[in-house]
Amino acid sequence: MRIKRFWQMFVALGLLILLPGLCQAYTYTVDFTAGDIKSHITDPLSNNEHAWGIWALVAYPDLANYSITGLSTNQDEWYVTHDSEFVDTNGACFRAVPGAELPGNPPHPLHMISDQPDPLSDHLMSYFGDTTTNITNGTLFSFTFTSDSIWGGCWHFLLDGSRYNKQANGPATWDEDFWGGRNNGEPFWLTRDSGGGLAGNIDGYMVCRPVPEPGSLWMLGMGLLGLIGYGKARLMVKGGK
Q: What is the pLDDT along the chain (241 residues), one digit of tens a residue?
A: 555 554 455 444 444 444 444 556 899 999 999 999 999 998 889 888 998 999 999 899 999 889 899 999 999 889 898 654 544 557 898 998 766 555 666 656 688 999 876 545 567 887 777 778 888 899 999 999 999 999 999 999 988 888 899 888 888 888 888 877 654 444 443 344 445 678 788 778 999 988 755 544 444 455 445 545 545 555 554 555 5
- Compute the 3-state secondary structure of the chain and give helix, strand, coil in percent, each to the nearest 5: 25, 35, 40
Helix segments in 126-214, DSSP class H: 194-197
55 with 161: CB under 8 angstroms? yes
CA nearest to 126, candidates 113, 111, 116? 111
Identify the pLDDT of residue 132: 82
**Helix, strand, or coil here: 228?**
helix
pTM: 0.73
Contact partners, residue 43, CB within 8 Å, separation at least 6: 197, 198, 199, 200, 201
Query: What is the tally of structural domains in the chain?
Result: 1
Inside any domain, residue 164: yes
User: Residue 151 has what pLDDT?
Assistant: 94
Q: Measured between alpha carbons, how far is 190 from 216 in angstroms, rounded to an integer?
A: 43
pLDDT of residue 34: 96
In a domain, 235, yes or no: no
183 lies in which domain range? Answer: 26-215
In a domain, 138, yes or no: yes
CA distance 28 to 85: 26
Greatest pairwise CA separation for the chain in angstroms: 95
Separation of alpha carbons 54 and 233, rounded Å: 62
Q: In this structure, is residue 73 part of a structural domain?
A: yes
Radius of gyration over alpha carbons of the chain, in Å? Answer: 25
221 lies in a domain?
no
Residue 165 lies in a domain: yes
| Residue 151, in any domain of the structure | yes
157 domain-assigned: yes
Q: What is the crossing angle of helices 215-240 and 2-23, to 10°?
A: 150
